[in-house]
């Protein structure tokens, strides 16, 4: 089984961290094909970054789909471009945010999300509402750790994330924590042991769900919302993205 894991930002070192976390939980025989977007922002923090990450992400999805991968994982907790990617791909496309939320709902009555910056909170809250899981989420909290700080051991990022987890457990009565950034993937196990509750990494969750979908022989519906885009000309720098039919 070949799973295409794409990091929609352009920071290759973060892709390596994410890919390592994915390979730890992948079943024997599953190949994780990790890719970094070739164009876009170095990190995705808010709506503007999200919008400008889409062309690079969709190009990577189209390339991997043409290569015949079995499933795709979008390794950004905002689920950047998830709906658009599903229109391009027949193989299943799993976002790590949606995967993490669903896993948490199977393990706890109430979960909280601990993410990076406050500007990410509205995006995550909107996704929870869209997925129908907002009632299960006690809170979305920001650790005020910038995404690229997760790469710097001297930033104190882990301690700030842990402090916010503690507040979520005490003040929000959360029973499980979802880590709200792909760059936090390597922290989940240690933070779970520290706090004594499930701490869920969306990358590991997405690998498990993607493998399950492939083993069940399921593919993305091509009727309705995820039907292939209709052929039409695109102008300017996006001309190469025009659907060919």
Decide: 115 and 141 in contact? Cβ < 8 Å: yes
Residues 72 and 124 in one domain: no
Residues 126 and 181 in one domain: yes
Residues 89 and 116 in one domain: no
The confidence score (pLDDT) of residue 191 equals: 95
Residues 104 and 198 in one domain: yes
Q: Is the pLDDT of residue 197 over 80?
A: yes
Residues 175 and 121 in one domain: yes
Q: How many CB atoms lie within 10 A of CB 170?
A: 9
Decide: 181 and 114 in contact? Cβ < 8 Å: no
The confidence score (pLDDT) of residue 170 equals: 97
Range of the domain at 234: 2-95+205-241
Residues 111 and 192 in one domain: yes
Residues 210 and 185 in one domain: no
Decide: 108 and 173 in contact? Cβ < 8 Å: no
Give the model's confidence band at 224: pLDDT under 50 very low, under 70 low, under 90 confident, else very high. very high
Kindly report, residue by residue over 125-170, the tens digit of the pLDDT: 999 999 999 999 999 999 998 887 887 777 888 899 999 999 999 9
Decide: 181 and 144 in contact? Cβ < 8 Å: no
Q: What is the CATH number of the domain that holds 84?
A: 3.40.50.12500
| DSSP character at residue 118 | G
Give the model's confidence band at 171: pLDDT under 50 very low, under 70 low, under 90 confident, else very high. very high
The confidence score (pLDDT) of residue 46 equals: 87
3-state secondary structure of 227: coil
Residues 91 and 101 in one domain: no
Residues 171 and 223 in one domain: no
Domain count within the chain? 2
- What is the widest separation between alpha-carbon atoms in the chain? 54
Kindly report, residue by residue over 41-93, the tens digit of the pLDDT: 999 988 999 999 999 999 999 999 999 999 999 999 999 999 999 999 999 99
The confidence score (pLDDT) of residue 75 equals: 96
For the stretch 159-169, what's the b/e string if a residue is b when 16 or more beta carbons lie within 10 angstroms of its beta carbon? ebbbebbeebb
Chain centre to alpha carbon of residue 197? 21
Residues 154 and 191 in one domain: yes
CA distance 34 to 32: 6
pTM for the structure as a whole: 0.93
């Amino acid at each position: 089984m070949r799973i295409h894991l794409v990091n929609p930002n352009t920071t290759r070192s973060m892709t390596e961290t994410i890919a390592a976390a994915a390979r730890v939980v992948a079943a024997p025989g599953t190949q994780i094909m990790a890719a970094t977007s070739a164009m876009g922002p170095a990190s995705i923090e808010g709506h503007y970054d999200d919008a400008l990450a889409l062309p690079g992400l969709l190009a990577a999805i189209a390339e991997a789909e043409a290569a015949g991968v079995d499933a795709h994982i979008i390794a950004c907790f905002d689920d950047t471009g998830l709906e658009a990617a599903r229109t391009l791909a027949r193989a299943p496309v799993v976002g790590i945010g949606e995967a993490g939320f669903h896993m948490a709902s199977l393990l706890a009555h109430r979960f909280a999300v601990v993410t990076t910056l406050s500007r990410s909170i509205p995006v995550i809250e909107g996704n929870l509402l869209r997925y129908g899981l907002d009632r299960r989420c006690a809170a979305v909290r920001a650790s005020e750790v910038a995404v690229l700080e997760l790469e710097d051991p001297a930033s104190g990022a882990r301690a700030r994330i842990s402090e916010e987890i503690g507040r979520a457990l005490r003040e929000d009565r959360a029973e499980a924590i979802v880590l709200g950034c792909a760059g936090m993937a390597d922290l989940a196990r240690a933070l779970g042991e520290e706090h004594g509750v499930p701490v869920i990494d969306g990358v590991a969750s997405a690998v498990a769900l993607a493998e399950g979908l492939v083993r069940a022989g399921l593919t993305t519906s091509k009727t309705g919302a995820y039907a292939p885009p209709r052929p039409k000309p695109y102008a300017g720098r996006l001309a190469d993205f025009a659907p060919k039919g």
